[in-house]
Every structure is written in structure tokens, then in C-alpha cells.
Amino acid sequence: MNRLHVHAQFDEATNTVSYVVWDAATRQAAIIDPVLDYDHRAGRASYLSADALLGFVADQELSVAWVLETHAHADHLSAAPYLKEKTGAPIGIGEHITDVQRTFAPVFGMDDVSGDGREFDRLFRDGDTFPLGELQIAVLHTPGHTPACVSYRIGDAVFVGDTLFMPDYGTARADFPGGDARTLYRSIQKLLALPDDTRLYMCHDYKAPGRDRFAWETTVADEKARNVHVGGGVDEATFVAMREARDATLSAPVLLLPSLQVNIRAGRLPEPEDNGRRYLKIPLKV
């Protein structure tokens, strides 16, 4: 019997998949990539999605040991601090979040961002392992989409963040500051070198043309055979040319500006100002 259990929660507003994963023997769990509900038009944040994750945890009688981020997301705000407050679980992310902090803190004039990652409880290096009950989580540094991207391998399952999408949708963009298509290709090859039956869990799905349902689980074998960007042995030069040309046509994610200034703080919202209100900044290009 597979001791790793996986529960996926899909947030259609941001096309994001959050996961609760746990060791069946000890009931210890990790929550991966939790979403803070944020209405950009109204400037309103709420915790409905996070509370749903906590409700599932309570129903299953789980103990949350970790809140894990695969990277500093540009398409949703993280609910990690709220979950930490409710469960006591530390927040972990890849150690190269420091690169992302140093890139973006000046953009937003964020003097309260350390640049050394201290906002997070644990910074993971490539190859690090840490326990989830009697299971082990192994960290794979998979940069390219951002410099800080990591994937989490637990047994025969890997949570890949934005590195890969479902085979009929392809791969992540690589045009953010610090991103690189060539680096992304090599990270993908690192994942595709895992055993063919390894389960891969996506962080996003956008329903590729011709598919009428959202999906977020596939395998290494399926990605190698069918991924529309890298499947069938596509070489590095071909991939880089495709990815760079495609990225040049993409608009910025809708929640890019609010997401980054919250997520490089480990999901912490800006402190209230003298009038009691919190504010996000929008840098202007004139």
C-alpha cells in the first residue's frame, strides 16, 4: 500500500492546485502552495481556500508539519502565514528565494524585505531531505521559471510547481527576471530522468484546447512521450527557441504585482499604516 496520500484542492480563480500530502502511518501532513483568496478589483483578501484546507486536515485528523512553497508565485498570493498561525507549521522554500527578494524588493521600495530569506522558517538546498512522519521529502532545485523554484519528491510522487504543466499544455514561461529557458529545459530533464512511473503533480492547469476538465496529475512516462513542448526527445536548442518566442507574446499575469510583493515576504501582508489600512504598491512606468 502506498503510504503517501495526496489531496488536491483546485482554485479556479487562479488556476492553482494546492495539496495536502500526508504519511498514512503517522498522519503527519504538509500543505503545498496554499492560496490566499484575493479580489484584485475590490482589494479584498480572505481565507476561504485556506480554511477549506484546514477543514480537510481536521476531517482527516492530520497534524500539519510543514507549509511548503515551490517558489514565489506570480499568479496568486500565498496563505502560508495564516496556515502557520493556525497549525504552528514552519514555512519552507528554496534557498534561492534570496535572489528573488533582491530582484523585486527594490522594484516595490520594500525596505522591510531582508534579502537573506529570514522571512521563511526554512530555506532548502538542492538535495536536502527532511521528514514527513516516517516518510522523507527530498528537495530538487528546478530553476528556470524562477531562480528559486524547487520540486518536492516524496516516494514515487513529485510536486513540480510551475516547472511543468500537463502534457497537452506544455511548460512554464521563463521570461520573469532571473528566469531562463535553457535553465528550465535542464530542470525539466532532471525531472524526466526520474523513473517512468513517478507521479508528477502540477501547480497549475488551464485546460488545454480540446480538454473539458481540469487535470493536475500525470507521470514521467506520459510527459516524456506527449508533452507538447519537450516530449518525444525535443532538444535544448529547439525548446529554447520555442520558449523564448512564445514568452515574447505573453502578457504579465493579472496578479503579478500584488503577488510578488506579498510572496517574497513569505505571504505576509504589508503592515497597516497609521489609518489602520494595508496597502499594496503599483510601480508605474511613465
Q: What are the tens digits of pLDDT across the range 70-101?
A: 999 999 999 999 999 999 999 999 999 999 99
CA distance 66 to 131: 10
Q: pLDDT below 70 — which residues of the chain?
A: 1
Domain boundaries, the chain: 4-253
pLDDT of residue 117: 97
CA distances from 178 to 101, 111, 218 (A): 11, 21, 28
pLDDT of residue 68: 98
Residues 6+ apart with CB under 8 A from 123: 92, 93, 94, 95, 97, 98, 117
Q: Would you give the DSSP letter of residue 204?
A: B
Helix (H) or strand (E) holding 94: strand 91-94
Residue found under cell 525531472: 191
CA distance 140 to 136: 13
pLDDT of residue 286: 87
Give me the DSSP letters along 37-50.
Answer: EEETTTTEEE-HHH
CA distance 280 to 108: 9
Fold annotation for 4-253: Metallo-beta-lactamase; Chain A (3.60.15)
pLDDT of residue 15: 97
Report residue 82 as a C-alpha cell. Answer: 495564516
Q: What crossing angle do the helices spanning 97-108 and 256-263 adopt, rounded to 10°?
A: 120
Q: Would you give the DSSP letter of residue 181?
A: H
Residue found under cell 532532471: 190
pLDDT of residue 2: 75
Contact of 215 with 15, CB cutoff 8 Å? no
CA distance 211 to 205: 11
